[in-house]
Amino acid sequence: MDLVVRLLTTLLPMAYLLAVVAYLFDFTGFHPRATRIARHLLNLALIVHAAQLLTRGALYAHMPVASRAEALGTVAFAVAGAYLLVERWTSVERTGVFVLGFVLVMQTLSSALVEPVTTFPAVLRNPLFVVHAGSAVLGYAAFGLSAVYGVLSLLLHRTLKRRRFGLIFDRLPSLDLLTGMSLSAATVGAAFLGTAIALGMVWASLEYPGFLSDPKVVMTVLVWLSYVGVLVAYHWLKWSRRRAIEFTLVAFVLLVASALATVFGLPSFHTFA
């Protein structure tokens, strides 16, 4: 089974690359059937990814978020799956090349950083931890979508302001739709991450006394408070959509910085492998 896991891990970046190329053809109008082909390729990539996660989880008997490679791969899967749902609900296909480009980078890093087989602690099979980790993954996936749509929203705003009506203007959805999707995704992300933090505190209080001093816990709470602060300012202090988008991107940069700091530097009990 280990050979199957390694094979699927190697195939995943190639599967997402094919989907990205197809969505690029769709965005540029290069091929009239690119939209249908792109969606089929994304479905195929998600099937391969689901098989990889399930096989790895069964082989090592834990939820695949124990190491940096596993966490990146699981979040990549969640972002790709969430994008597919958004595409089907909104019929907006032209943002796929940007979202899946983000997924491709994450999965390529995940496949490149995958570690040799190690022993994983039994705590990873705790049901409370599984729900906690699952909520965190969904929260990070939603924040990833929010960031991509936020960047596209600012890019389209700049295009409209300069009156340069080219490919970006022609192929992207409306400015209102992009900003709405970005802020909605940020709201979903804040809800899931808030749930993960609450469950994590209950779980960690039983398993890891003194967890409140853990750098990962502190930085995750700061990220969550940053997003909540922006959403509160937008809904109740009447911030403009553009200003809210800009500050959600600042919060996303803080999220990425905190992830890099805890993965590559700061000690944390969240590193299980």
Cβ atoms < 10 Å from Cβ of 235: 12
Dihedral sign computed on CA atoms, order 132, 135, 141, 144:
negative
What distance in Å separates the CA atoms of residue 52 and residue 58, rounded to the nearest whole number?
10
What distance in Å separates the CA atoms of residue 135 and residue 253, rounded to the nearest whole number?
20
pLDDT of the residue at 247: 95
pLDDT of the residue at 2: 73
What distance in Å separates the CA atoms of residue 12 and residue 21, rounded to the nearest whole number?
14
What distance in Å separates the CA atoms of residue 119 and residue 43, rounded to the nearest whole number?
32
Considering only CA atoms, which of 220, 221, 219, 243 is closest in space to residue 230?
243
- Write the DSSP assignment of the chain as a string of letters: -HHHHHHHHHHHHHHHHHHHHHHHHHHHT--TTHHHHHHHHHHHHHHHHHHHHHHHHHHHTS-S-SSHHHHHHHHHHHHHHHHHHHHHHH---TTHHHHHHHHHHHHHHHHHHPPPP----GGGG-HHHHHHHHHHHHHHHHHHHHHHHHHHHHHHHHHHHHT--SHHHHHS--HHHHHHHHHHHHHHHHHHHHHHHHHHHHHHHHH-TTGGG-HHHHHHHHHHHHHHHHHHHHHHS---HHHHHHHHHHHHHHHHHHHHHHHHTS--TT---
pLDDT in 10s for each residue of the chain, 273 residues: 678 888 888 999 999 999 999 999 888 876 778 788 999 999 999 999 999 999 887 877 777 777 778 888 999 999 999 999 888 887 777 888 999 999 999 999 999 888 765 666 666 677 777 888 889 999 999 999 999 999 999 888 887 776 666 666 567 788 888 999 999 999 999 999 999 999 888 877 766 666 666 777 888 899 999 999 999 999 998 899 899 999 999 999 999 888 776 666 555 555 555
pLDDT of the residue at 50: 95
Q: Which two tokens stand for residue 87?
A: 């595409």
CA atoms lying within 13 Å on the CB side of residue 264: 7
